[in-house]
Amino acid sequence: MIPTNITSIRSPILFIVFNRYSAALQVFKAIKKARPPRLYFAADGARTKEEWKKCNAVRSIIELVDWPCEVFTLFSNVNLGVKLGETAAMDWFFENEEEGIILEDDTFPDSTFFPFCDEMLEKYRDDTRIWNITCTNHMTKYDRNNAKSYHFTKHRYGAYWGWACWRRVWVKYDVDMKVYPKVRGKEILESHFLNSEERDEVYNLLDHTLNGNINSWDYQMDLARIINQGYVIIPNMNLISNIGFGQEGTHTVNENDRRSKNDLVSMEFPLDHPEEITEDFKRDELYFRKYIRTTHFRRFKNLVKNALPSVLDEAVTPFFRSVQKRMGLN
């Protein structure tokens, strides 16, 4: 049965915004229907004087709260960027809350996302094997064969597009990845990977995050999860639609990205829980091949760009972007 009247949820919500009013308003309206008891509203600062108009418009959304709710705001006066800005927001959230739900201004949830997170947060609150609940599911066709409501994996990377977590996990997070040089190539990481392709791809992601080529916060979370051998809970239907693909996105600029899907399916309740915490290695390998492994186009693009001087590298970037957009490549 799918609940039709979700009047309120128990969990607090952290809502992270920046400068996209239309997208942020859509997500806020979904939050409003869930009526969380506490709402943490974090907004990064503008990069230019002209951008402040957009940022201030987004910040005004918090004035639309009209249900019984404690509201907390964190408004930055400077632009911290995705990496430091979102990390600061989540530090703030988990300093004040033991657990909760995190949404960004481009992660639009199905209405059942909220009660699903509520139940998962409570059920696995004290189970230290569980790292977080991530509600974006790119492989819904595969997962429809599973009669249970959700599954577990240790092989999910990035794409925290609507998720929930506990303070007990966040305290193990390190945005600077100080431990990574010490454990790279060591058994604690090597024993994690399904195959050599996954190892090479994940090391590539972590290397680029450490040296600053990837300006994000999420692969640091994956590193901490691997080291602590944590599981991710994923619902067997997609509860989040990323509405941020396009030119205004930071890491989701390609509208034809294979992860850009609008296939929300409501969760049915009561939930059918798995009997034990196990992995489906066949599913994990398929997910890696479809959504994590670098495509042939990206490999070719990187090969060409890495062989060019920096001036020529910048010159060919618009060409590769136009090819990606026209052909729907990644």
Contacts (Cβ under 8 Å, ≥6 apart) of 125 = 99, 166
What is the DSSP secondary-structure string of 87-151? HHHHHHHHHH-SEEEEEETTEEEPTTHHHHHHHHHHHTTT-TTEEEEE---S-HHHHTT--SSEE
Separation between Cα atoms, residue 123 and residue 118, nearest integer Å: 9
Separation between Cα atoms, residue 15 and residue 31, nearest integer Å: 9
Antiparallel, parallel or unpaired: β 99-104 and 70-75: unpaired
Q: Give me 172's structure tokens.
A: 């193990």
Q: What is the pLDDT of residues 34-88, one digit of tens each?
A: 999 999 999 999 999 999 999 999 999 999 999 999 999 999 999 999 999 999 9
Q: Give me 245's structure tokens.
A: 């693909």
**Which of 50-59, 237-246, 272-281 shows the lowest mean pLDDT across its residues?**
237-246
Question: What does pLDDT average to over the chain?
Answer: 87
Separation between Cα atoms, residue 167 and residue 113, nearest integer Å: 20
Antiparallel, parallel or unpaired: β 150-153 and 231-235: antiparallel
Count of residues making up the chain? 330
Contact 233, 120 (CB under 8 A): yes
Global pTM value: 0.85
Q: How far is CA 203 from the centre of its chain?
A: 19
Separation between Cα atoms, residue 19 and residue 17, nearest integer Å: 7
Q: How far is CA 327 from the centre of its chain?
A: 26
In the predicted model, is pLDDT for residue 244 greater than 80? no
**pLDDT, position 261:** 54
Separation between Cα atoms, residue 315 and residue 304, nearest integer Å: 12
Average of pLDDT values for 82-96? 98
**pLDDT, position 249:** 42
Average of pLDDT values for 217-233? 98
3-state secondary structure 150-214: EEEECCCCCCCCCEEEEHHHHCCCCCCCCCHHHHCCCHHHHCCCCCHHHHHHHHHHHHHHHCCCC
Separation between Cα atoms, residue 77 and residue 63, nearest integer Å: 19
**pLDDT, position 1:** 63
